[in-house]
Amino acid sequence: MPTPTGPDRLLRRVVRDGGGWTGLLTVVALIGAAAELALPASLGFAVDAAVGGTASWWPAVACALVVILLTTDILGDVAAGYGAARATALLRRRLLRHLFACDVRTVRRYPVGDLVGRLVGQATDAGQAGTAVVFGVVALLPPVGSVVALTLIEPLLGLTLLGGLAVLAVLMRAFVTDASAAVTGYQRVLGAIAGRLLEALGGARTIAAAATVDQERERVLSALPELRGYGQLGWRLLARASARTAAVGPLLQAAVVAVGGYALTVGWLTPGQLVAAMQYAALGAGLGAVLATLHRLVRARAAANRIAEPLAHPTRRYGDEPLPSGQGELRLCGVGVRSGDGRPVLRGIDLLVPAGATLAVVGRSGVGKSTLAAVAGRLHDPDAGEVLLDGVPLHRLSPGALRRGVGQAFDRPVLVGDTVHDAIGLALPDESAGPPAGAAPATPEVLAVARAAQVADVVDRLPDGFRTRLTEAPLSGGEAQRIGLARAFPAQRLLILDDATSSLDTATEHRISRAVTEGVGGRTRLVVTHRAATAATADLVAWLDGGRVRAVGPHRRLWADPDYRAVFTPGGDLR
């Protein structure tokens, strides 16, 4: 038996994620299908009883079947809605958790807008898989059941319907193949447009300043003709399949009625059996529900294919070791990192940062400074070598130990949470990071790191202080950087600042540097910088050049090298 592919495995899981609602839908749909198949027979018996002038309870049975059909229709809609919603929610959570657990470089392969499209639009389509599978199976029961019923009434009738259904099956198979390609292409192009749109919105100020709004609009919407082509192709395929079904269905029904009429004249059928045969012919030839279900399945599988792609990437693995004893010694042993296209970014980095020391990482643009900082904090793992904190490889630490031991701040931090208090307390233990009790402006832990980052006075001036919602906080770039610094300060062993003070004035940067250097516990500091003044205050400087460590030593000793001085001259670091 062939092994199911990624999309197929995902669809199976989505079907299971519908839980009890999918089970209820299955039971209800089967009962409805059984009632639908029993209704023509009951009507036929009722006609024969009326023609024969005998009393019968078959009309009551027919009425009861109609009530069952109405009830199962209502329950089916409810179960389908709740089942699809549950499966969609679980699928979105699974994809989101997986993306956050992946290597940062992996996630960066996808534009944010494209990922949002997969998370929102494609997850909705794939979440319909359980409903589509149940309806697909149940939609086949009326045609199959009609063939069986007609065969029992008169074998020639069954053969007539079966021949017509075989023709329709061939037509529908062609529709599935062609529609799959159209839907896949449509979803791919839509994701590309969404990615470009989000990029444009993120750079709205730059676009406005450059007066390139029209050009940017053309760039974002340049794929619209291709999108329209896939959309029109999908609708044409659906319309063509519907037209063929609509054309073949009545002809098939007419053929069954003609054969049934002949059978009645020669005495093979009773009037009631002819009525039942006509109903079964209409039921078997009416494949509109099957076509709609096939279309839904096509969309679900195409969406599952799009979601399975990022889910196929491996996630970072963690160990279960706690923080070892030590004061934060950082060691990089033979660390090598390659870019997505295979180009080496870091090559054979051997570096020792003594516990409690401050190491400044400098170099021209593109030499791998931010990559080194990311590897040191395990934002992603190196392709070669390993990184050790107090003698323990980072990948062997538990997530909680890594979170407590290492803090990171960036040049353009993204503030996460509902309020400013949430954004600062993100790296604190849950009991310290929670909302302040009563009317307290902040928990003591959050207030302490906010003061160390020189941002407490800024927050106090906000409309609701620490309780101000981030969406309503008018923060400058430097103020956002300071909140990012405050978020990183609780780290117990290693503090990594990736150009995290670039937007600060000299006086504020000096106060923060003193807080970092004199902070509690004498943490080790790794500071990526392009400022000579910052490098001068560090204990050691690691000078990167061409993806390698060119030299390590005090700033004053390296300053004698003109190439080192050129790193800090205007144009020397084209960040």
String of DSSP letters for 50-68? HHHT---SHHHHHHHHHHH
Over the stretch 340-391, which tens digit does the pLDDT of each residue have? Answer: 777 888 999 999 999 989 999 999 888 889 899 999 999 888 999 999 999 9
Backbone angles phi, psi at 417, to 5 degrees: 130, 175
Last residue of a domain, one of 258, 280, 311: 311
Query: Which is nearest to 392 in space by CA: 349, 458, 331?
Result: 331
375 CB contacts (<8 Å, ≥6 apart)?
A: 332, 335, 337, 346, 381, 382, 387
| Residue 526 β-bridge partners | 359, 496
Query: Which is nearest to 245 in space by CA: 295, 289, 298?
Result: 289
Residue 304 DSSP label: H
| 214 and 334 within one domain | no
Query: Which is nearest to 169 in space by CA: 33, 291, 258, 320?
Result: 291
Over the stretch 69-125, which tens digit does the pLDDT of each residue have? Answer: 899 989 988 999 999 999 999 999 999 999 888 888 888 888 887 888 888 888 888
Mean pLDDT, residues 160-178 taken together? 74
Q: Give the CATH number, domain containing residue 545.
A: 3.40.50.300
Q: How confident is the model at residue 574 (pLDDT cuts 50, 70, 90)?
A: very low
Q: Which residue has the tokens 């019968």?
A: 56
| 235 and 158 within one domain | yes
Q: What strands lie across the sheet with 330-338, from one edge to the other?
A: 344-353, 330-338, 384-389, 392-393
| 350 and 278 within one domain | no
Contact 367, 343 (CB under 8 A): no
Q: What is the pLDDT of residue 289?
A: 66
Last residue of a domain, one of 268, 290, 311: 311
Q: What is the pLDDT of residue 143?
A: 80
Q: How confident is the model at residue 2 (pLDDT cuts 50, 70, 90)?
A: very low
Contact 119, 95 (CB under 8 A): yes
Q: Is the pLDDT of residue 393 over 80?
A: yes
In a 10 Å sphere around its CB, with 0-12 CB exposed, 13-18 middle and 19+ buried, how is residue 489 labelled? Answer: buried
pLDDT, greater one: 183 or 4: 183
| 213 and 94 within one domain | yes
Backbone angles phi, psi at 330, to 5 degrees: -110, 130
Taking the C-alpha atoms of residue 273 and residue 264, their distance in angstroms, rounded to an integer, is: 9
Residue 442 lies in a domain: no
Q: Which amino acid is at 492?
A: Q
Residue 448 lies in a domain: no
Taking the C-alpha atoms of residue 4 and residue 12, their distance in angstroms, rounded to an integer, is: 10
Q: How confident is the model at residue 573 (pLDDT cuts 50, 70, 90)?
A: very low
Contact 574, 365 (CB under 8 A): yes
Mean pLDDT, residues 245-255 taken together? 72
| 11 and 138 within one domain | yes
Residue 39 lies in a domain: yes
| 171 and 138 within one domain | yes
Among the ranges given (372-386, 426-440, 553-567), the one the predictor scored with the smallest mean pLDDT: 426-440
| 182 and 76 within one domain | yes
Residue 470 lies in a domain: no
Reported pTM:
0.76
In degrees to the nearest 10, what's the CA dihedral of 459, 461, 467, 473?
Answer: -80
Q: Is the pLDDT of residue 411 over 70?
A: yes
Helix, strand, coil shares, percent, the chain, to 5: 65, 10, 25
Mean pLDDT, residues 221-236 taken together? 86
The alpha carbon dihedral of 521, 524, 529, 531 has a sign of positive
- Estimate to the nearest angstrom the gap between the alpha carbon of 411 and the chain centroid: 26
| 278 and 248 within one domain | yes
| 325 and 301 within one domain | no
pLDDT, greater one: 350 or 234: 350
Q: Give the CATH number, domain containing residue 251.
A: 1.20.1560.10
Among the ranges given (47-61, 133-147, 215-229, 332-346), the one the predictor scored with the smallest mean pLDDT: 47-61
Cα atoms in the Cβ-side hemisphere of radius 13 Å centred on 234: 21
pLDDT, greater one: 292 or 546: 546
Q: What is the pLDDT of residue 27?
A: 92
Taking the C-alpha atoms of residue 173 and residue 204, their distance in angstroms, rounded to an integer, is: 47
Taking the C-alpha atoms of residue 334 and residue 43, their distance in angstroms, rounded to an integer, is: 82
Q: What is the pLDDT of residue 518?
A: 58
| 187 and 117 within one domain | yes
Q: What is the pLDDT of residue 476?
A: 81
Taking the C-alpha atoms of residue 180 and residue 187, their distance in angstroms, rounded to an integer, is: 11
- DSSP E strand boundaries for 294-369: 330-338, 344-353, 358-362
Q: What is the pLDDT of residue 438?
A: 55
Q: What is the pLDDT of residue 351?
A: 93
The alpha carbon dihedral of 547, 551, 553, 555 has a sign of negative
C-beta atoms surrounding 422 within 10 Å: 20
* Mean per-residue pLDDT over the chain, rounded: 82
pLDDT, greater one: 335 or 183: 335
Mean pLDDT, residues 326-330 taken together? 89
Number of compact structural domains in the chain: 2
- Estimate to the nearest angstrom the gap between the alpha carbon of 546 and the chain centroid: 36
Last residue of a domain, one of 311, 338, 370: 311
pLDDT, greater one: 21 or 435: 21
Residue 353 lies in a domain: yes
Residue 451 lies in a domain: no
Task: Show the 3-state SS of 377-397.
Answer: CCCCCCCEEEEEECCEEHHHE
Residue 423 lies in a domain: no
pLDDT, greater one: 575 or 25: 25
| 266 and 364 within one domain | no
Residue 430 lies in a domain: no
Query: Which is nearest to 187 in space by CA: 300, 312, 311, 310?
Result: 300
524 CB contacts (<8 Å, ≥6 apart)?
A: 327, 328, 329, 330, 353, 354, 355, 356, 357, 358, 359, 493, 494, 495
Mean pLDDT, residues 22-31 taken together? 91
Taking the C-alpha atoms of residue 71 and residue 6, their distance in angstroms, rounded to an integer, is: 37
In degrees to the nearest 10, what's the CA dihedral of 41, 45, 46, 51?
Answer: 140
pLDDT, greater one: 562 or 239: 562
Per the document, the length of the chain is 575
| Residue 545 β-bridge partners | 548
Q: What is the pLDDT of residue 181?
A: 80
Q: Give me the percent of the chain exceeding a pLDDT of 90.
A: 18
Q: What is the pLDDT of residue 277?
A: 77
Query: Which is nearest to 500 in space by CA: 482, 517, 516?
Result: 482
| 267 and 154 within one domain | yes
Task: Residue 563: give the domain boundaries.
Answer: 321-412+495-505+524-575
Taking the C-alpha atoms of residue 220 and residue 237, their distance in angstroms, rounded to an integer, is: 28
